[in-house]
Structure 1
Amino acid sequence: MTEPPVTVKCLVWDLDNTLWRGTLLENDDVEVPDALRDVITALDARGILQSIASRNDHDQAWERLEKLGLAEYFLLPHIGWGAKSAAVRAVADELNFALSTIAFIDDQPAERAEVEFHHPEVRCYPAEDALSLPDRPEFTPAVVTGDARRRRQMYQAGLRRETERAEHAGTDEEFLRSLALELTIGRAGAEDISRVDELTLRTSQMNATGVHYSEQTLRSLVADEQHEVLVASLTDRFGPHGAIGVILLDRRPGAWHIKLLATSCRVVSFGVGAALLRWLADEAARAGQSLTADFRRTERNRMMEVAYRFAGFQEAEHEAAEPLPDAEGTQTLCLEPTRQDPPSHLKVVAPRLFSASRDLTPWVPGGH
């Protein structure tokens, strides 16, 4: 069976006679055909990021993109007089993407050859192929989630956030409080399942068991009244972080059992894992339930173990009655929960698990 092509995560555009018609240095009134605008917006809607590698005067080119109403679609543009291969490499490094997920489009065969020579993993396309890109399998993700549709905005927010963090003169705690972080916890809907599947597959440092739950398994758990499949999303004053955490909870008689807790590594510094555990402890204390959790030590999840221990979880006297599939060495951790306040640096909006209404209500300091 032929393997499907690796999906392109970022397309790097040349400008002259590729993105727009003509050469900017010869005519500052270059235009972008409507059909190419449609390509740009179609790829953006699929979560494929776009950037630029162009030999041009940066200020003049960027001003033209702004007048054309297209500047917002391009992240980390490299407009100058250096080699295109260096620009493509810089884009991949700045996005932390593998070169095999980068594509490059240019009207000049010599420029494409230069990129291919230095980066054979990068897929290169002639300018005349631009209109066909949305029809190609490598530009057609199997699933387009809500987070994928917002991917560009999330990266743009992240770039602004990191710039301000670097310029912030105060303490890390002061910076966190300045972000106006809001953590929302909700039950997984149909559109969330693919993102939850992805989180359990790709998150390793902040994954309590390292077990991957397939989309089929997740859908069956969502339909099971004994289980909760919860998704955590994060926003701040810069914009959305998207879905960044998942909790799989088995509501057993007398105890809630955390089958999986996983959070994206990119929000570790915001204390999301600890916030989720404090929220669960508060909910369990309200409901008069104890908490147990599966934990399996891996080569990379030491931070998650620390989060559990810091929250007060201890090893149970006996191992789990239902060991995880393909997860030897799984421990059962336990906690007798007490009422908790949320962390001071973020607001938490979450459901009351024991409430028949299942309404979203804020969890606020002093809410005991």
Structure 2
Amino acid sequence: MKSPLAYNSPAPSLTEIESRIASGAKDLPALKMAILRNITIEPIEPYIKYHAFCSNWKAETLFGQYDNIVQEALETGGIIQPDTDIIWIFQRLEKCSPDLTHHFSSLSKNEIDLEIDRIIALSDTILKGIRCKTAAPILWQAFEPLLFPSAGILDSLSMNGQNTVISRLNTSLKTKLQSFPGCYYVDIPLCLARVGFNQFYDFRYWYLAKAPYTREALSEIANENFKLIRALKGKTKKCLVLDCDNTLWGGVLGEEGISRIKLSEEYPGAPYKNFQREILKLYERGILLCLCSKNNEADIWEVFDRHPDMVLKRNHIVCAEINWENKADNITRLSQRLNIGLDSMVFIDDSLFEIDWIRQALPMVTALHFPVEEAVHASVRLTSAGLFDITVLSEEDKQRSRMIKAEFERKSFQTHFQDIREYLKSLNMTLSIHEADLSTLARISQLTLRTNQFNLTTKRYQENELSNLIEKSGHRIFSASLKDKFGDMGMIGAAIINCTPTEMILDSFLVSCRALGRHIERLFLEILLSHFKGIGFKQAIGRYRPTLKNKQVELFYTDNGFEYRCKNGDENEYVLSLDSFQKKPDEEGLMAINRQWKGA
């Protein structure tokens, strides 16, 4: 489905929001949200629906009663249900602590400390109450600074001024949130700084109805929350595809030559150089960078190699299509070469013609128009979109481009072989199976969130949810890591197994697309089945939930000896007797793969 793709634009009108959502939201999956608040925040609902729609969800929003946060958190029933996906909390400081906002000057240092402790203790009560009901992510909106503190300019000169205390309070709140699994701090002061005071608050409605925010503020707050939600739900983009002329530098290379393109520390080249700096930050976070440019290839690489003000270098680019062909075809080829979905890609171009064409031909790609006359805003537009935001950055994320390039080397090396077994043997692969611990849960969570193709059930798990499965639910979780002569591919697979006295139930089984083509998935499954058979389990249950992207695994269980048993809700269930389980003949060269078992 084609998303509106209106990131970074001014807050849309309510009529525009309703029109866009009405055009296609009814067929989208539901995103159920509960909002606890001590202010009137219902006017944010259209913006929540809009940003949900931009991310291909249909928002279903329930608001708790006004100024009833503690009761909503503690009472049975209420708006927080077992199937709630996200919980938002708006606790405005003026309502929960009149002393810190209206009577600050009369408070002693000890009284201030006691008040901070009281607010944090109240937050602890709320979080504990919610966590007794659900493991759904909690997005807690930070306290805003006072624009006109009680002491005037003296406040900024004091080490214990009013806004310094509010900053301390936010730090304590963030620490408290980090002590609970799946709880996140939303930086509302940052939203205020972006929008600006004059556009952020509507004092008429604050006094009339305790509704403090303008339309612009509500849109920005919703957008900031959805950056987190997309990351938590596995919708973070993986790849940035870039045009070159009037995008990475000013001017047309073929007309102006390398010496006259606009790229320097001074205007008009400075915006382009700073844009490249922001792109490099994405590379350092593991985002794949590609080029898609209508140009002569040698000319483009000359700029990357020789221009003194190029921030991006040839080694930062994982893949490129530089030619005079259709850009939709080129982006499709990039997707195929990288083995990632088109919906994982963001394309930036200065040409509205090219952007509109990509939006029509490849609606799954997020296509962003960066016109040359707005080059000074390019860096801010890229970062403010939040399309690449993540909640955890692993070492493997930082090495993703290197891993992709090593995979290209493997594919080139494979062309020298006609026998797959000889090729696998030549790679000198080692597959290591580890039972999960606290140090690996974050990466396993990433795999469940990001893996779509070879993923039997596509269940998404946050780190805290995986921890709860191990501690409370009798589950065992395993990861698979792979290395070969070309390098260490890191963690490439995961299995979540629900253990009953006699059955191992494969709740989730997934392998990264980076590792496909080596039959690692079969070996991973065989190792797990052999292990559980060896410790006395009698039966293995496999589950497959069809999606638009995992068609290739439809026959995985039957191809590996399981028999179809029944349909269980939206899942197909397969069964294998472990007593009769035997490894299949080595027709795929699996014996050439070294294996290490590091389970419990």
Partner of 2:354: 114
Quick one: structure 1 residues 85 and 259, their matched pair in 2 at CA, closer, same or farther if it must change by over 3 Å? closer
Q: Does 1:157 align with 2:406?
A: yes
Partner of 1:125: 370
Name which of 51, 57, 76 aligns with 2:319. Answer: 76
Quick one: structure 1 residues 82 and 277, their matched pair in 2 at CA, closer, same or farther if it must change by over 3 Å? closer
Q: Which has the higher helix share?
A: 2
Shift of 1:73: 1.8
Q: Which has the larger radius of gyration?
A: 2
Can you list the C-alpha shifts for 1:227-248, whole angstroms capped at 9, x where unaligned?
3211112232334444332222
Partner of 1:140: 389
Quick one: structure 1 residues 66 and 324, their matched pair in 2 at CA, closer, same or farther if it must change by over 3 Å? farther
Partner of 1:218: 466
Name which of 593, 596, 600 aligns with 1:346. Answer: 593
| Secondary structure at the counterpart of residue 35 of structure 1 | helix
Q: Distance in 1 between matches of 2:596 and 2:537?
A: 22
Partner of 1:335: 578
| Secondary structure at the counterpart of residue 138 of structure 1 | coil
Q: Does 1:295 align with 2:535?
A: no
Amino acid at match of 1:292: Q
Shift of 1:220: 0.8
| Secondary structure at the counterpart of residue 219 of structure 1 | helix
Name which of 536, 551, 556 aligns with 1:304. Answer: 556
Q: Does 1:260 align with 2:489?
A: no
Q: Distance in 2 between matches of 1:282 and 1:99?
A: 37
Partner of 2:100: none
Q: Distance in 1 between matches of 2:595 and 2:569?
A: 34
Quick one: structure 1 residues 32 and 242, their matched pair in 2 at CA, closer, same or farther if it must change by over 3 Å? farther
Name which of 18, 26, 41 aligns with 2:247. Answer: 18
Partner of 1:91: 334
Q: Distance in 2 between matches of 1:55 and 1:330?
A: 49
Can you list the C-alpha shifts for 1:317-361, whole angstroms capped at 9, x where unaligned?
xx9xxx9984666354321389989942212222142xxxxxxxx
Can you list the C-alpha shifts for 1:39-94, whole angstroms capped at 9, x where unaligned?
12222234432211234331232133134561122233122344555544543454
Partner of 1:38: 277
Can you list the C-alpha shifts for 1:233-270, whole angstroms capped at 9, x where unaligned?
223233444433222234555x5624335132744532
Q: Distance in 1 between matches of 2:475 and 2:387?
A: 36
Deviates more, 1:29-38 or 1:130-139: 29-38
User: 2:452 touches 2:458 (CA, 8 Å); kept in 1?
Assistant: no
Quick one: structure 1 residues 333 and 282, their matched pair in 2 at CA, closer, same or farther if it must change by over 3 Å? closer
Q: Distance in 2 between matches of 1:348 and 1:175?
A: 17
Quick one: structure 1 residues 351 and 256, their matched pair in 2 at CA, closer, same or farther if it must change by over 3 Å? farther
Amino acid at match of 2:591: S
Name which of 20, 28, 33 aligns with 2:258. Answer: 28
Partner of 1:364: none
Can you list the C-alpha shifts for 1:122-151, whole angstroms capped at 9, x where unaligned?
232235143121232224245555544333
Q: Distance in 1 between matches of 2:516 and 2:292?
A: 32
Quick one: structure 1 residues 80 and 283, their matched pair in 2 at CA, closer, same or farther if it must change by over 3 Å? closer
| Secondary structure at the counterpart of residue 222 of structure 1 | helix
Amino acid at match of 2:384: D
Amino acid at match of 1:195: Q
Amino acid at match of 1:73: H
Partner of 1:50: 289
Q: Distance in 2 between matches of 1:222 and 1:139?
A: 30
| Secondary structure at the counterpart of residue 54 of structure 1 | strand
Q: Distance in 1 between matches of 2:287 and 2:410?
A: 21
Name which of 475, 478, 496 aligns with 1:227. Answer: 475
Q: Distance in 2 between matches of 1:32 and 1:94?
A: 33
User: 1:182 touches 1:348 (CA, 8 Å); kept in 2?
Assistant: yes
Partner of 2:299: 60
Gaps of 5+ in 1: 354-368
Shift of 1:191: 1.5
User: 2:459 touches 2:508 (CA, 8 Å); kept in 1?
Assistant: no
User: 1:85 touches 1:115 (CA, 8 Å); kept in 2?
Assistant: no
TM-score (norm 2): 0.48
Name which of 279, 292, 296 aligns with 2:527. Answer: 279
User: 1:259 touches 1:294 (CA, 8 Å); kept in 2?
Assistant: yes
Shift of 1:96: 5.3
Amino acid at match of 2:353: A
Partner of 2:347: 104
Amino acid at match of 2:577: C
Q: Distance in 1 between matches of 2:512 and 2:331?
A: 25
Cα RMSD, aligned residues only: 3.8
Shift of 1:173: 0.7
Shift of 1:183: 1.4
Amino acid at match of 1:56: N
Q: Distance in 1 between matches of 2:424 and 2:500?
A: 36
Gaps of 5+ in 2: 1-47, 56-235, 266-272
Amino acid at match of 2:280: T
| Secondary structure at the counterpart of residue 103 of structure 1 | strand
